Amino acid sequence: MQVKRFRTISEFQQFRHLPKPDHPLISVFEVASAERVNLNEDMSWLYEFYCIGLKKVVNSKKVKLKYGQQDYDFDDGIMSFVAPNQVLSLSFETDQQDIQQSGWLLLLHPDFLWNTSLAKTIKQYDFWDYSVREALFLSEKEEDLLVGIMKHIQQECKSNIDQFSKNIIVAHLETLFSYADRFYHRQFITREKQNHQVLERLEQLLHAYFNSDDLVSKGLPTVTAVAQALNLSPKYLSSLLKVLTGQNTQQHIHEKLIEKAKEKLSTTNLSVSEIAYELGFEHIQSFSKLFKTKTNQSPLAFRASFN
Protein backbone atom coordinates (compact mmCIF):
# COMPACT_ATOMS: atom_id res chain seq x y z
CA MET A 1 0.00 0.00 0.00
CA GLN A 2 1.31 3.44 -0.94
CA VAL A 3 2.16 5.85 1.89
CA LYS A 4 1.52 9.51 1.21
CA ARG A 5 3.56 11.79 3.51
CA PHE A 6 2.54 15.40 4.03
CA ARG A 7 5.37 17.47 5.51
CA THR A 8 3.58 20.82 5.39
CA ILE A 9 0.01 22.02 5.63
CA SER A 10 0.36 23.74 2.25
CA GLU A 11 1.34 20.43 0.66
CA PHE A 12 -1.77 18.75 2.05
CA GLN A 13 -4.10 21.53 0.95
CA GLN A 14 -2.59 21.54 -2.53
CA PHE A 15 -3.23 17.78 -2.71
CA ARG A 16 -6.88 18.39 -1.77
CA HIS A 17 -7.12 21.27 -4.29
CA LEU A 18 -7.73 23.78 -1.53
CA PRO A 19 -6.54 27.41 -1.60
CA LYS A 20 -3.18 28.13 -0.06
CA PRO A 21 -3.63 28.42 3.75
CA ASP A 22 -3.75 31.92 5.18
CA HIS A 23 -1.09 30.88 7.67
CA PRO A 24 1.62 28.33 6.76
CA LEU A 25 1.55 26.64 10.18
CA ILE A 26 -2.19 26.46 10.97
CA SER A 27 -5.31 26.01 8.86
CA VAL A 28 -9.02 25.50 9.49
CA PHE A 29 -11.48 24.62 6.74
CA GLU A 30 -14.75 22.83 6.09
CA VAL A 31 -14.33 19.31 4.75
CA ALA A 32 -17.04 19.85 2.14
CA SER A 33 -14.94 22.62 0.57
CA ALA A 34 -12.14 20.18 -0.25
CA GLU A 35 -12.27 18.67 -3.72
CA ARG A 36 -12.83 14.93 -3.69
CA VAL A 37 -9.63 13.07 -4.57
CA ASN A 38 -10.30 9.84 -6.40
CA LEU A 39 -7.80 7.17 -5.46
CA ASN A 40 -7.02 4.24 -7.71
CA GLU A 41 -5.95 2.15 -4.74
CA ASP A 42 -6.07 2.13 -0.97
CA MET A 43 -3.62 4.57 0.54
CA SER A 44 -1.91 5.31 3.85
CA TRP A 45 -1.48 8.90 5.03
CA LEU A 46 1.17 10.34 7.32
CA TYR A 47 1.09 13.94 8.55
CA GLU A 48 4.00 15.81 10.11
CA PHE A 49 1.51 18.03 11.91
CA TYR A 50 -1.46 17.71 14.27
CA CYS A 51 -4.80 16.96 12.65
CA ILE A 52 -8.09 17.55 14.48
CA GLY A 53 -11.09 16.34 12.55
CA LEU A 54 -14.77 16.82 13.26
CA LYS A 55 -16.38 14.78 10.53
CA LYS A 56 -19.57 13.23 9.31
CA VAL A 57 -19.62 10.80 6.41
CA VAL A 58 -22.76 9.59 4.65
CA ASN A 59 -22.49 5.97 3.47
CA SER A 60 -19.93 5.47 6.23
CA LYS A 61 -20.32 1.70 6.19
CA LYS A 62 -18.32 1.66 2.97
CA VAL A 63 -15.47 3.86 4.21
CA LYS A 64 -12.83 2.27 6.40
CA LEU A 65 -10.14 4.17 8.24
CA LYS A 66 -7.34 2.07 9.68
CA TYR A 67 -5.14 3.17 12.59
CA GLY A 68 -2.29 0.72 13.12
CA GLN A 69 -3.96 -2.68 12.79
CA GLN A 70 -7.45 -1.56 13.83
CA ASP A 71 -10.38 -0.57 11.60
CA TYR A 72 -12.63 2.33 12.48
CA ASP A 73 -16.03 3.07 10.95
CA PHE A 74 -16.94 6.73 10.48
CA ASP A 75 -20.14 7.78 12.19
CA ASP A 76 -22.12 10.96 12.70
CA GLY A 77 -20.76 13.63 15.01
CA ILE A 78 -17.29 12.31 15.79
CA MET A 79 -14.04 14.08 16.56
CA SER A 80 -10.60 12.56 16.23
CA PHE A 81 -7.14 13.76 17.20
CA VAL A 82 -4.11 12.64 15.23
CA ALA A 83 -0.60 13.54 16.40
CA PRO A 84 2.32 14.02 13.99
CA ASN A 85 3.79 10.90 12.37
CA GLN A 86 0.84 8.61 13.04
CA VAL A 87 -0.08 6.46 10.03
CA LEU A 88 -3.70 6.36 8.85
CA SER A 89 -4.97 4.09 6.09
CA LEU A 90 -8.01 4.66 3.89
CA SER A 91 -9.82 1.93 2.01
CA PHE A 92 -13.00 2.23 -0.05
CA GLU A 93 -15.60 -0.48 -0.50
CA THR A 94 -17.85 1.56 -2.77
CA ASP A 95 -17.75 4.11 -5.56
CA GLN A 96 -16.21 7.24 -4.05
CA GLN A 97 -18.84 9.34 -5.78
CA ASP A 98 -21.35 7.85 -3.31
CA ILE A 99 -19.42 9.27 -0.35
CA GLN A 100 -20.62 12.58 1.06
CA GLN A 101 -18.47 14.29 3.66
CA SER A 102 -19.10 17.21 5.95
CA GLY A 103 -17.43 18.66 9.01
CA TRP A 104 -14.29 20.60 9.87
CA LEU A 105 -10.56 19.98 9.82
CA LEU A 106 -7.95 21.85 11.83
CA LEU A 107 -4.30 21.36 10.89
CA LEU A 108 -1.64 22.54 13.31
CA HIS A 109 2.11 22.36 12.74
CA PRO A 110 4.20 21.91 15.94
CA ASP A 111 6.35 24.89 14.91
CA PHE A 112 3.37 27.19 15.41
CA LEU A 113 3.46 26.43 19.14
CA TRP A 114 7.10 27.34 19.57
CA ASN A 115 7.66 29.56 22.59
CA THR A 116 4.05 29.25 23.81
CA SER A 117 2.57 27.63 26.91
CA LEU A 118 0.77 25.07 24.74
CA ALA A 119 4.07 23.77 23.36
CA LYS A 120 4.76 22.30 26.81
CA THR A 121 1.23 21.12 27.62
CA ILE A 122 -0.21 19.82 24.34
CA LYS A 123 1.20 16.32 24.82
CA GLN A 124 -0.36 16.12 28.28
CA TYR A 125 -3.75 15.58 26.64
CA ASP A 126 -4.13 11.80 26.55
CA PHE A 127 -6.36 11.82 23.46
CA TRP A 128 -3.34 12.32 21.17
CA ASP A 129 -2.40 8.75 22.06
CA TYR A 130 -5.88 7.31 21.55
CA SER A 131 -6.39 5.40 18.35
CA VAL A 132 -8.69 6.96 15.76
CA ARG A 133 -11.23 4.19 16.41
CA GLU A 134 -11.56 5.65 19.92
CA ALA A 135 -12.93 8.91 18.57
CA LEU A 136 -14.99 11.35 20.59
CA PHE A 137 -18.76 11.00 20.06
CA LEU A 138 -20.42 14.40 20.33
CA SER A 139 -23.91 15.54 21.11
CA GLU A 140 -25.35 18.23 18.83
CA LYS A 141 -24.78 20.86 21.51
CA GLU A 142 -21.16 19.79 22.03
CA GLU A 143 -20.56 19.72 18.30
CA ASP A 144 -21.90 23.25 17.88
CA LEU A 145 -19.63 24.47 20.66
CA LEU A 146 -16.47 22.96 19.15
CA VAL A 147 -17.33 24.11 15.63
CA GLY A 148 -17.78 27.60 17.03
CA ILE A 149 -14.25 27.54 18.45
CA MET A 150 -12.89 26.29 15.13
CA LYS A 151 -14.63 29.16 13.34
CA HIS A 152 -13.05 31.65 15.74
CA ILE A 153 -9.62 30.18 14.96
CA GLN A 154 -10.37 30.29 11.22
CA GLN A 155 -11.43 33.93 11.46
CA GLU A 156 -8.26 34.84 13.35
CA CYS A 157 -6.11 33.07 10.75
CA LYS A 158 -7.79 35.07 7.98
CA SER A 159 -7.36 38.38 9.78
CA ASN A 160 -4.34 40.60 9.44
CA ILE A 161 -1.59 39.01 11.51
CA ASP A 162 -0.48 41.22 14.38
CA GLN A 163 1.28 40.85 17.73
CA PHE A 164 -1.89 39.50 19.37
CA SER A 165 -2.84 36.88 16.76
CA LYS A 166 -0.75 33.97 17.99
CA ASN A 167 -1.74 34.35 21.63
CA ILE A 168 -5.43 34.56 20.70
CA ILE A 169 -5.21 31.44 18.51
CA VAL A 170 -3.33 29.51 21.20
CA ALA A 171 -5.98 30.53 23.75
CA HIS A 172 -8.71 29.17 21.43
CA LEU A 173 -6.74 25.95 20.94
CA GLU A 174 -6.36 25.49 24.68
CA THR A 175 -10.11 26.00 25.08
CA LEU A 176 -10.83 23.49 22.31
CA PHE A 177 -8.56 20.86 23.90
CA SER A 178 -9.98 21.47 27.38
CA TYR A 179 -13.54 20.96 26.11
CA ALA A 180 -12.45 17.81 24.26
CA ASP A 181 -10.90 16.53 27.49
CA ARG A 182 -14.17 17.25 29.33
CA PHE A 183 -16.29 15.55 26.67
CA TYR A 184 -14.06 12.46 26.69
CA HIS A 185 -14.52 12.28 30.45
CA ARG A 186 -18.28 12.52 29.89
CA GLN A 187 -18.05 9.77 27.27
CA PHE A 188 -16.33 7.43 29.72
CA ILE A 189 -19.31 7.89 32.04
CA THR A 190 -22.26 7.96 29.62
CA ARG A 191 -21.17 4.96 27.55
CA GLU A 192 -21.70 2.93 30.71
CA LYS A 193 -22.56 -0.45 29.23
CA GLN A 194 -19.65 -0.57 26.78
CA ASN A 195 -17.18 0.73 29.36
CA HIS A 196 -18.17 -1.71 32.08
CA GLN A 197 -17.86 -4.50 29.55
CA VAL A 198 -14.26 -3.39 29.08
CA LEU A 199 -13.76 -3.53 32.85
CA GLU A 200 -15.23 -7.05 32.99
CA ARG A 201 -13.00 -8.20 30.14
CA LEU A 202 -9.98 -6.72 31.90
CA GLU A 203 -10.77 -8.62 35.10
CA GLN A 204 -11.22 -11.86 33.15
CA LEU A 205 -7.99 -11.27 31.26
CA LEU A 206 -5.93 -10.59 34.38
CA HIS A 207 -7.54 -13.48 36.27
CA ALA A 208 -6.67 -15.91 33.48
CA TYR A 209 -3.13 -14.55 33.19
CA PHE A 210 -2.39 -14.72 36.92
CA ASN A 211 -3.71 -18.27 37.08
CA SER A 212 -1.58 -19.53 34.20
CA ASP A 213 2.10 -20.25 33.71
CA ASP A 214 2.55 -16.96 31.83
CA LEU A 215 3.78 -15.15 34.95
CA VAL A 216 6.81 -17.43 35.17
CA SER A 217 7.53 -17.58 31.44
CA LYS A 218 6.62 -14.03 30.43
CA GLY A 219 6.67 -12.00 33.64
CA LEU A 220 4.08 -9.41 34.63
CA PRO A 221 1.74 -8.34 31.81
CA THR A 222 2.56 -4.91 30.43
CA VAL A 223 0.03 -2.13 30.00
CA THR A 224 0.58 -2.27 26.23
CA ALA A 225 -0.03 -6.02 26.09
CA VAL A 226 -3.21 -5.75 28.15
CA ALA A 227 -4.54 -2.90 26.00
CA GLN A 228 -3.81 -4.80 22.79
CA ALA A 229 -5.65 -7.85 24.13
CA LEU A 230 -8.67 -5.62 24.80
CA ASN A 231 -8.38 -4.01 21.35
CA LEU A 232 -7.79 -0.55 22.84
CA SER A 233 -4.92 1.91 22.91
CA PRO A 234 -2.94 1.99 26.20
CA LYS A 235 -3.77 5.64 26.91
CA TYR A 236 -7.49 5.22 26.22
CA LEU A 237 -7.69 2.15 28.47
CA SER A 238 -5.91 3.89 31.34
CA SER A 239 -8.06 7.02 30.97
CA LEU A 240 -11.24 4.93 30.92
CA LEU A 241 -10.23 2.91 33.99
CA LYS A 242 -9.20 6.04 35.87
CA VAL A 243 -12.71 7.47 35.47
CA LEU A 244 -14.50 4.19 36.26
CA THR A 245 -12.37 2.95 39.16
CA GLY A 246 -9.88 5.66 40.13
CA GLN A 247 -7.00 3.40 39.06
CA ASN A 248 -5.08 3.24 35.79
CA THR A 249 -4.15 0.00 34.01
CA GLN A 250 -0.81 -0.40 35.77
CA GLN A 251 -2.49 -0.05 39.15
CA HIS A 252 -5.05 -2.71 38.18
CA ILE A 253 -2.25 -5.08 37.23
CA HIS A 254 -0.49 -4.44 40.55
CA GLU A 255 -3.75 -4.88 42.47
CA LYS A 256 -4.29 -8.30 40.91
CA LEU A 257 -0.67 -9.16 41.64
CA ILE A 258 -1.00 -8.27 45.33
CA GLU A 259 -4.21 -10.33 45.57
CA LYS A 260 -2.34 -13.33 44.18
CA ALA A 261 0.64 -12.71 46.47
CA LYS A 262 -1.60 -12.56 49.55
CA GLU A 263 -3.26 -15.80 48.50
CA LYS A 264 0.08 -17.59 48.20
CA LEU A 265 1.43 -16.11 51.45
CA SER A 266 -1.66 -17.21 53.40
CA THR A 267 -2.36 -20.63 51.88
CA THR A 268 1.07 -22.09 51.00
CA ASN A 269 4.38 -22.77 52.66
CA LEU A 270 6.35 -21.34 49.75
CA SER A 271 9.17 -18.98 50.69
CA VAL A 272 8.91 -15.32 49.76
CA SER A 273 11.56 -15.80 47.07
CA GLU A 274 9.63 -18.74 45.59
CA ILE A 275 6.42 -16.69 45.55
CA ALA A 276 8.24 -13.77 43.94
CA TYR A 277 9.52 -16.10 41.21
CA GLU A 278 6.06 -17.57 40.58
CA LEU A 279 4.69 -14.06 40.23
CA GLY A 280 7.19 -13.16 37.53
CA PHE A 281 9.83 -11.31 39.56
CA GLU A 282 13.51 -11.95 38.94
CA HIS A 283 14.55 -10.29 42.21
CA ILE A 284 12.87 -10.76 45.59
CA GLN A 285 13.75 -7.18 46.53
CA SER A 286 11.51 -5.80 43.75
CA PHE A 287 8.61 -7.97 44.87
CA SER A 288 9.03 -7.10 48.54
CA LYS A 289 9.26 -3.37 47.78
CA LEU A 290 6.06 -3.40 45.69
CA PHE A 291 4.20 -5.49 48.25
CA LYS A 292 5.14 -3.13 51.09
CA THR A 293 4.22 -0.08 49.00
CA LYS A 294 0.75 -1.49 48.34
CA THR A 295 0.01 -3.00 51.78
CA ASN A 296 2.29 -1.12 54.24
CA GLN A 297 3.59 -4.54 55.28
CA SER A 298 6.46 -6.72 54.18
CA PRO A 299 5.50 -10.17 52.80
CA LEU A 300 6.85 -11.82 55.95
CA ALA A 301 4.96 -9.44 58.22
CA PHE A 302 1.74 -10.14 56.31
CA ARG A 303 2.25 -13.89 56.65
CA ALA A 304 2.97 -13.55 60.36
CA SER A 305 -0.09 -11.37 60.99
CA PHE A 306 -2.30 -13.72 58.99
CA ASN A 307 -1.12 -16.73 60.95
| pLDDT tens profile 243-301 | 888 999 999 999 999 999 999 999 998 999 999 988 888 889 999 999 999 999 999 99
Of residues 256, 179, 259, the one with CA closest to residue 221 = 256
Residue 260 CB partners (closer than 8 Å, separation 6+): 210, 279
Per-residue confidence at 215, pLDDT binned at 50, 70, 90? confident
pTM of the model: 0.74
269 vs 267: CA distance, rounded Å: 7
pLDDT at 94 over 80: no
User: Residue 110 carries which DSSP code?
Assistant: G
Per-residue confidence at 60, pLDDT binned at 50, 70, 90? very low
128 vs 7: CA distance, rounded Å: 19
Q: What are phi and psi of 11, to 5 degrees?
A: -65, -40
